[in-house]
Amino acid sequence: MIEAILPEGVACSTSFEELTPAPDGPDRLFPAESAAIVRASAGRRAEFTTVRLCARRALASLGLPPAPLVPGRRGLITWPGGVSGSMTHCAGFRAAAVARTEVAASLGIDAEPNLPLPAGVLAAVSRPREAAALAGLARRRPDVHGDRLLLSAKEPVFKTWYPLTGRELEFEEAEVEFDPAGGFSARLLVPGPVVAGRRHDTFSGRWTVGRGFVLTAITLPGVG
């Protein structure tokens, strides 16, 4: 599913169930990864492991070896040199996407259940114009919960932004506009990141729904 909203040159791998690597197999966790979840619950360890197995498979499809993917500040990953990537997980779905940086300078993916947001969450993540536009989206796309789609779209905005800037980006610092056909744009309301001498004040993304999930992705083109 998520591969449908990613461009050529971006590799992805998904799983709808938890995966368990062999203790001595090539997909086993690196020591630094194991240390990151030593105090985690069983459920957290399972999702952590599965999404990294997805990432290893995506890296392998680019001809790249496995590497430790340890969460840093805000949980974001330092990917191997020359690689950009993103991981996402929600109940029943895990995914990773990777690309060489000449293909994608940065990228972000997100998955959410296609269900209404809990009370109060929309107000916390949206700007007035975004919230007002959801009624129109609902008329044209009754198959998607627009409030959940908006939250999902803002996640890859941050995931694309942060590796390029190292700075926080609040929900209200980007304004998202949806195309009911499956595209969206995110206008940054703070100065955007500079890549190869060009400032990016807008990120373009794509979205889709399927199997009970809302999926979003942004790929910022590389300089290759």
Question: 132 with 191, same domain?
Answer: yes
* 73 and 125, same domain (yes or no): no
pLDDT class for 196, splitting at 50, 70, 90? confident
Q: Are residues 68 and 137 in the same domain?
A: no
Average pLDDT over residues 149-165: 96
Which one of 86, 102, 118 terminates a domain? 102
Mean pLDDT of the 202-206 span? 98
Q: What is the mean pLDDT of residues 107-128?
A: 96
Q: Write down the mean pLDDT value for the chain.
A: 94
Give 142 or 23, the one with higher predicted confidence: 142
Tokens encoding 159: 């995931």
Whether residues 208 and 118 share a domain: the answer is yes
148 plus 120 within the same structural domain: yes
Do 92 and 172 share a domain, yes or no?
A: no
CA dist list (Å): 154 to 22, 40, 80, 171, 184: 36, 27, 25, 7, 11
Collapsing DSSP to helix, strand or coil, 152 comes out as helix
pLDDT band at 141 (very low <50, low <70, confident <90, very high): very high
**Do 142 and 65 belong together in one domain?**
no
Cα–Cα distance, 33 to 48 (Å, whole number): 9
For the stretch 100-126, what's the b/e string if a residue is b when 16 or more beta carbons lie within 10 angstroms of its beta carbon? bbebbbbbbbbbbebeebeeeebeebb
Phi, psi of 188 (to 5 degrees): -75, 135
Q: How many CB atoms lie within 10 A of CB 23?
A: 7
Tokens 């995966």 correspond to 19
> Which residue range is the domain that position 42 belongs to?
2-102
> Is residue 27 domain-shared with residue 45, that is, in the same domain?
yes
Q: What is the CATH number of the domain that holds 149?
A: 3.90.470
Checking if the pLDDT of 147 tops 90, the result is yes
Same domain (yes/no): 81, 120: no
Domains held by the chain: number: 2
CATH of the domain at 41: 3.90.470.20
> For 35-85, how does the pLDDT look when each residue is reduced to its tens digit (9 = 90+)?
999 999 999 999 999 999 999 999 999 999 999 999 888 778 889 999 999
Residues 10, 56, single domain; the answer is yes
Report CA-CA distances (Å) from 16 to 86, 89, 94, 207.
17, 10, 6, 19
Which residue(s) pair with 207 in the sheet? Answer: 216
What are the backbone dihedrals phi and psi of residue 32, each rounded to the nearest 5 degrees, phi first? -65, -35
SS3 24: coil
pLDDT at 21: 79
Instruction: Say what the alpha-carbon torsion angle 147, 153, 157, 163 is, to the nearest 10 degrees.
Output: 120
- 145 and 168 in a single domain? The answer is yes
Give the pLDDT score at 224.
64
Q: Do 78 and 55 belong together in one domain?
A: yes
Q: Residue 76 pairs with which residues in a beta bridge?
A: none
Instruction: Please say which residue of 34, 67, 102 terminates a domain.
Output: 102
Name the domain boundary from 52, 84, 102: 102
